Structure 1
Amino acid sequence: MIATIGLAIGIVFLAELGDKSQLMALTFALRYRWWVVLGGITAATASVHVLSVAIGHFLGAALPTTAIAWVAAVTFLAVGVWTLRELAGDDGAEPAPPRFATAAPFFVVLSAFLLAELGDRTMFATAALATDNNWAAVWLGSTIGMVAADALAIGAGILLGKHLPERAIGFGSGLLFLFIGALTAVNTAVPALGLGAAIGIAAAAPAAAGAALWWLHSRREIRETPVTSTDTSDIEGRRVGGQP
C-alpha cells in the first residue's frame, strides 16, 4: 500500500506540473488567503479522486467529460469577463473586490476546481491506477500529489501578491481566468491539437481583452485631461501698464 501511495503521488505531481490547475491555484492565491485556496483545492481534489478511483476500480464507467469541460470553460470565461468589467468601470481608485470574490471564497475555489478536474488527465490517471492497485492508496496518493503541486503555485501567488498593487492583481486575475477558459475550450473543441498551438490560440482571448482595456483607459485619460487656457486678463493688464 505504501508503494502505491508513493507511485500515485509521483505520477500526479508530475502530471500537474505546468497544468492549468497550477495556474488556477496561482490566480486564486492572488485574490484569497492561501489557506482558503489550499483548503478548497484539497476538498475538490479529494472529491474528484474518490469519483475517479470508484470509476476505475468499481464501475469501469465514463463521465460526460466533454460536456463538463464546456461548462468549466464557460464558467472561467464568465468569471474573467466579470472581473475585468467591474475593474474597468471604476474611477481610477483602488478597486473593490469583484462580486465573485466577495462570495464565500472556499466555495468559489471548491466549485472551480471541481469543474476543472472532472474529466482532466489527472482523473484518467487515477482511474487507470485504481484498476490494478488498492483504490484507497491511489486516492490518498493522488490527492497528496495534486495538493503538493498546487501548493507550489499558491506560494508563487503569495510572492507575487506581496509586490503587486490591488489593481494589477485584479486585472491579472481576470486575464488569467480568460486564458484558462479559452485553453479549456480549445482543448475540448480540438483535443488533437498540440499543447503549444492550444496555448497560442488561447492566449488570443486575454490579449484581446488587455488591448481593449488599454484602449478604454487611454480614452478615459483623454477625456479627463483638463484643457489649459491662456489667462488673457493678465496679458491685457501688462499691456495697459506699458509692458509688452
Structure 2
Amino acid sequence: MEHVFAVLAATGLGVGGIDFLIASGTSFLLIFAAEIGDKSQLVCMVMAARHRAFPVMVGSALAFVVLNTLAVVFGAALANWIPEAVIYAIVAVLFLIFGIQAMRAEEEPDRECTSPPSGRGIFLATFALIFVAEFGDKTQLAVVGLSSTSIPLAVWAGATTALILTSALGIWAGCTVLQRIPIKLLHRVSGMFFIILGLFAAFQTWQAVS
C-alpha cells in the first residue's frame, strides 16, 4: 500500500488527490457489489430485451445521476422528503402498468438491440422506472451515508460510475441472453417480472400505512 501511495504521489496527485481516489474507489466497489442482481439492473435487462438499448442506457444513466446528486446534496433529509408509503405506491402502480402492457403485447417485427433509438418514450419509461424504484432505496441511502463521512464529489463519482456500469451489464444481458427467448415468451416473462415487483411494492405500501 505504501508503494501505491508513493506512485500516486509521484504523479502529482498529492494527499487530496489520493484521498479522492480512495473515496471514489471505495464507493464504486461498495455500490457495484450492492447493485449486482438488484431490481434496477433487472429492469434494464428486461427493458433492453424488449426495446432498443440506447434510450434504455441513457434513461437509466440519467436517473442514477439525478438520484445520486440528490443524495449528495440533500443528505439524510432525502429519506424523509417523500413519505415511504407514497414511494411504494408509485412504484407499485408503475410496475403493474408496465407488467400488464407487456403481458398484452403482441409480437414485434423488430427487436434488434443495435437498431437506432426509437424516440423519447423508451427513455422516459426507463428513467421513470429506475428513478421511482431506486428513490430512497438502500443504494441511495448508502450514497447518503458515504457522502456524509467522505468526500461528497468522490462518492458521487464512484457510485454513479458503478450504477451506470451495472446498468450497462444488465442491458448487455438483455441484448444477448434474453434475445434467444421467443418474443411471445419474453413478453410474458417480462410482464410477470414487473407484476411481481408491483405486487411486492403494493405489499410494502400496505405495511407502511398499517
TM-score by length of 2: 0.77
Map residues 40-59 of structure 1 onto 2, 5 A cutoff: 40-56=59-75
User: Residue 126 in 1 paired to residue 143 in 2?
Assistant: yes
Percent identity, aligned pairs only, is: 29
Residue identity matched to 1:7: T
Alignment of 1:70-219 (within 5 A): 70-87=89-106, 94-95=107-108, 104-190=121-207
Name the counterpart of 2:7.
none
Change (3 A) 1:185 1:111: same
Measured after TM superposition, the shift of residue 44 of structure 1 is 0.3
Structure 1, residues 26-58: CA drift from partner, whole Å, max 9, x if none?
Answer: 11111122222111111000001100111228x
Give the Cα separation in 2 of the matches to 1:77 and 1:147. Answer: 25
Q: Which has the larger radius of gyration?
A: 1
Task: Output the CA distance in 2 between the equivalents of 1:60 and 1:70.
Answer: 18
Cα drift, residue 190 of structure 1: 4.3
Q: Contact 1:84/1:174 (CA < 8 Å) preserved in 2?
A: yes
- Relative to structure 1, is the Cα distance of residues 68 and 55 closer, same or farther in structure 2, using a 3 angstrom cutoff? same
- Report if the CA contact (8 A) 1:9-1:144 is conserved: yes
State the Cα distance separating 1:61 from its structure 2 match: 6.5
Deviates more, 1:48-57 or 1:8-17: 48-57
Q: CA deviation at 1:109?
A: 0.7
Q: Is the 8 A contact 2:105 2:187 kept in 1?
A: no
* 1:7 Cα offset (Å): 1.0
Q: Specify whether residues 61 and 166 from structure 1 end up closer, same or farther in structure 2 by C-alpha distance, changes over 3 A only.
A: closer
> What's the counterpart of residue 62 of structure 1?
80
Q: Which runs of 5+ in 2 are unaligned?
A: 1-19, 111-117
1:39–1:106 contact (8 Å) kept in structure 2 = yes
**Structure 1: which 5+ residue stretches go unaligned?**
88-93, 192-244
Cα RMSD (Å): 2.4
3-state secondary structure, aligned to 1:12:
helix
- Letter of the 2:31 partner, please give it: V
Q: Distance in 2 between matches of 1:176 and 1:60?
A: 28
Equivalents in 2 of 1:81, 1:60: separation in Å?
Answer: 31
Matched, 1:26 2:45: yes
- Work out the CA distance in 2 between the residues paired with 1:122 and 1:11: 9
Aligned to 2:31: 12
User: How many residues matched?
Assistant: 181
User: Are the aligned partners of 1:69 and 1:119 in contact in 2 as well (CA < 8 Å)?
Assistant: no
